Amino acid sequence: MRNVMIVGAGAVGGFFGAHLAKANPNVSFLLRPRTCHAVQERGLTIRSAAGTFTVRPRASSNPCDLPKPDLIVLSVKVYDLDEVLAQIEPIMTEQTVLLTLQNGVDVEDRLLARFKRDCVVGGVAYIYSKIAEPGVIEHYKRGSVAIGELMGHKSPRVLQIADLFKQAGLPCQLSEDIRRSKWEKMCWNCVFNPLTVIINDRVAKALDHPEMLGVIHQIVAEVSAVSAGCKVPLASDMADKVVRWSQEIRDIHTSMYDDWKAGRPTEIESLNGYVAARGKALGIPTPLNDALTALIKTITEKEPVGPGVVRIDGAVIQPVLLNRDALAKLPAEHQVPDVGVPSPGTKGRGVRVKGLLEVPALAIGADHVTFHSQDGRYAASLTLKQAMDYGILIYQLDGASLPEQNGGPFRLIAPGLGDLCANVKGVARIELTIGPGQDTRPSIKTC
């Protein structure tokens, strides 16, 4: 295996790839444009207690610009895998070998299904490192891999890959059952990745509470049950092993925690989400993994923004975001099934502004409500009483989102206000104020 391509230079790929490149001039990197630019300009730097070094490997965002690889090391997050596979497919030959260093347990099968040949060597990375900035990796603990053929035999290619790692000074263990090794790490990941996010703290915080130890055992029991259902039985004391393995890294946060804090997506779907989905398919209950998946998605996913969401903010205790489904779930007494009844000639389903304003807690003294269009060009400011007595927000037409040509996805009307009528199309923000807010209506209002 002469030419090696590392895909990704994050916390895992950056660390292992830099060490491989330090020992082997035939190592190149396939990177995202921002990281690629940084590596081309400043090199790839590893900062570690064991020392800091920089390598300047060949790097590109186009695999066709790099030497055709004999070995491709996949080290991107699982949610980026499909995009990466589409990139590397044109350079794959019948001899190209793929080494997986992702979390989760289904990557290898996905690769085999896509390429339809025996091109995959499974791998597990044991490391604690972070991305300090593009092209700079901070390494704190561990830094080894376990690799193995999916059938468990010691093939020439596995031995060659192990030699590459060992020549770079990287511990590399040959696993006779790499699927089991991956499920064992899955147990740890399914426990501490979500828990550190939920408690917003380190591994130690979870380890040191007796009540939490019972939760850890239940999570691992569910993962082990699903693993057994997938024909990969784990040790009966797996939960105790997970707790024992964690003692030497009790001071760390997890990759999921770091991704959350950095505003990046998490791998929850490939960890607890995968266990929950496989459990459902196999008829195995996984209530804790179901709950952890839902909790992490709720905590880490960014608030939705854009034309399909209306925000209520300003003089409120806490801003509120509502989409069309949320509006439809407001109490029936606030719903207007046919806005043509109070406003002849208008079509659609709406909700009274009174019902909207009962959702947030209004600040003391709030007395005006301003409706802003998405483009910021139009606004109407009504007194709180006017808005609650007359305002209707149209959000639906014929069971679907209100089209833009009809003033959607949210349109304010105020039938009954007479010359003071307010009609704002494309409402994106409802602002509570103390005193009048912005108002672009002409001095003489006509409907």
Tell me the pLDDT tens digit for each residue of 122-168: 999 999 999 999 999 999 999 999 999 999 999 999 999 999 999 99
Which alpha helices (H) appear in 89-177, and where do they start and end? 107-115, 156-167
Could you tell me if 160 and 197 lie in one domain?
no
Identify the band that residue 50 occupies on the pLDDT scale cut at 50, 70 and 90: confident
Which residues fall within 8 angstroms of residue 204, CB to CB, at 6 or more apart? 250, 251
The alpha-helical segments, DSSP class H, found in 247-381 are: 255-261, 272-282, 287-300, 324-328, 353-357
Q: According to the model, what pLDDT value does residue 212 have?
A: 94
- Asked whether the predicted pLDDT for residue 408 surpasses 90, the reply is yes
* Across 193-209, average pLDDT: 95
- Asked, for residue 224, whether it belongs to a domain, the answer is yes
- Output the six-digit token pair for 280: 């459902």
Strands lying side by side in the sheet with 368-373: 320-323, 309-314, 427-433, 368-373, 379-383
pLDDT > 60? residue 94: yes
Pairing of the two strands 335-336 and 349-352: antiparallel
Give the pair of three-digit tokens for residue 119: 């091109």
Q: How confident is the model at residue 33 (pLDDT cuts 50, 70, 90)?
A: very high
Residue 441 lies in a domain: no
Asked whether residue 282 is assigned to any structural domain, the reply reads yes
In angstroms, rounded to a whole number, what is the distance separating the alpha carbons of residues 154 and 146?
13
* Pair (154, 41) in one structural domain: yes
Q: Report CA-CA distances (Å) from 174 to 122, 148, 321.
A: 10, 6, 51
- On whether the CB atoms of residues 84 and 7 are closer than 8 A, the answer is yes
- In this prediction, residue 418 has a pLDDT band, given cuts at 50, 70 and 90, of confident
Instruction: Evaluate whether residue 13 is within a structural domain.
Output: yes
| Same-domain pairing of 366 and 276 | no
The radius of gyration computed from the CA coordinates of the chain, to the nearest angstrom, equals 28
The structure tokens listed for 352 are 């009274």
**8-state DSSP, 247:** G
CATH of the domain at 427: 3.90.420.10
Of the chain, the percentage scoring pLDDT greater than 70 comes to 98
Instruction: State pLDDT tens for residues 216-236.
Output: 999 999 999 999 999 999 999
Tell me which H or E stretch contains 373. Answer: strand 368-373
Assigned domain for 202 exists: yes
Residue 11 shares a structural domain with residue 89 = yes
Please identify, among 151, 176, 201, the residue that sits at the C-terminal boundary of a domain: 176
Residue 446 pLDDT exceeds 50: no
Q: What is the per-residue DSSP string for 40-64?
A: HHH-EEEEETT--EEE--EEESSGG
Is 50 exceeded by the pLDDT of residue 387?
A: yes
Asked if residue 51 is part of any domain, the answer here is: yes
CA distances from 249 to 140, 254, 282 (A): 10, 10, 33
Report d(CA 44, CA 152) in Å as an integer: 34
Using DSSP bridges, classify how beta strands 71-74 and 44-48 pair: parallel, antiparallel or unpaired.
unpaired
For residue 105, what are its two tokens? 């347990």
Read off the DSSP letter of residue 403. Answer: P
Asked whether residue 147 falls in the same domain as residue 203, the answer is no
Looking at the fold, whether 285 and 317 belong to one and the same domain comes out as: no
pLDDT of 308-349, one tens digit each?
Answer: 899 999 999 999 999 999 999 999 999 999 999 999 999 999
Is the residue at 197 inside a domain? yes
Summarize the confidence of residues 9-32 as an average pLDDT.
Answer: 96
Owning domain of residue 97: 1-176
User: Within a 10 A sphere around the Cβ of 240, how many other Cβ atoms?
Assistant: 14
Residues 269 and 382 in one domain: no
- In the predicted model, is pLDDT for residue 447 greater than 60? no
Same-domain pairing of 38 and 171: yes
3-state SS assignment for residue 21 = helix
What distance in Å separates the CA atoms of residue 78 and residue 99, rounded to the nearest whole number? Answer: 14
Mean pLDDT of the chain: 94
Give the pLDDT of residue 435.
96
Both 347 and 403 in a single domain? yes
User: Does one domain contain both 9 and 135?
Assistant: yes
Whether 444 is covered by a domain: the verdict is no
317: exposed, middle or buried (Cβ count in 10 Å: 0-12, 13-18, 19+): exposed
Give the dihedral of Cα atoms 7, 187, 297, 230; nearest 10 deg: 80
Structure confidence at residue 421 (pLDDT): 80
Q: Residue 173's pLDDT is what?
A: 96
What local confidence, expressed as pLDDT, does residue 301 receive? 86
pLDDT of residue 21: 97
Q: How far is CA 35 from CA 27, 42, 341, 406, in A?
A: 16, 10, 58, 44
Domain match, 186 and 270 both: yes
Number of domain units in the chain: 3
Long-range contacts of 175-178, Cβ-Cβ distance < 8 Å, separation of 24 or more: 175/122, 175/124, 175/146, 175/147, 175/148, 176/148, 176/152, 177/148, 177/152, 178/122, 178/123, 178/124, 178/146, 178/147, 178/148, 178/149, 178/150, 178/152
CATH number at residue 169: 3.40.50.720
Instruction: Mark which of 176, 192, 214 sits at the end of a domain.
Output: 176
Last residue in a domain, options 121, 142, 176: 176
Contact between 249 and 193 under an 8 Å Cβ cutoff? The reply is: no
Domain check: are 216 and 278 in the same one? yes
